[in-house]
Amino acid sequence: MLELGGKNPTIVHSSADLKTAARRIAYGRYMNSGHICTAPDHVLVWPEVKDAFVRCMAEAVREFYGEDPKASPDYGRVINQANFDRLARLLSSGKAAVGGQTDASERYIAPTVLVDVSLDSPIMKEEVFGPILPVLEIDSVEAVITWVNERPAPLGLYIFAEEPDFIERILDATRSGDAGINDCAIHPLIPELPFGGVGNSGMGKYHGRWGFEAFTNARGVMYHSPKIDPGVRYPPYSKHRLERKVESKLMP
């Protein structure tokens, strides 16, 4: 069993409830200062709702952590200096529409939303694993499917939408370890669901019954009656072939 993380794409369709989507994405991205393998890594949002979605993200950050997240008892810090330095460098990958502030002495990076992010920027080439969320525009289900399938299969795929056909089309045409509809990051808390990656994001599934099967070495036991023991299963096989030929000739 291996669970290896990955760049979890998060799709925000024009039909999505933007306020709820932003609150749930902010929760998943900034919880534990972003140090969660199932966190949404980047958002692909429909152009006509991008600005409204970013505003909703700003509102969610204020609701969760106040005007100064640095002073919030509910907001964490980056785990160590090496990762702080790595994440601070990633901030230059786009424009901070929300947050962007840092304090090296406390290993503090504000809950941040980046826009105007280019596809070849550093933040799009590695798993973020921190409190920075790139937001990019996308405008069709075909483009979403291509985006997901051209990259290593993620640990999680998250879709925020209110159109069932749109959701099912993406689920049917892509691969991911798991998926969430109108929520993100919390599916490992549901014991009835199998949890794990696929391809680069891991192998095997666990939790509940899936965990029992993954970590159990099953032993097969066969019971066979000794009452019937036809000779055809045993050598010499040439003898059995001859007997079958004789029998076939004797048949009318």
Q: Where do runs of H (alpha helix) occur along the chain?
A: 18-30, 47-65, 81-90, 141-149, 164-173, 208-214, 237-250
CA pair distance 87, 188, nearest whole angstrom? 25
Token pair 């666990």 is found at 206
Q: Which residues pair with 42 in a beta bridge?
A: 9
56 catalytic per annotation: no
Exactly one of 37, 56, 184, 243 is catalytic; name it.
37
Per the annotation, the verdict on 37 as an active-site residue is yes
42 token code pair: 């980047």
Q: Select which of 3, 106, 126, 247 is catalytic.
A: 3
Residue in 131, 136, 133 with CA at minimum distance from that of residue 119:
136
* CB neighbourhood size of 52 (10 A): 14
* Among 26, 75, 32, 93, CA closest to 55: 26
d(CA 37, CA 155): 8
Residues with catalytic roles? 3, 37
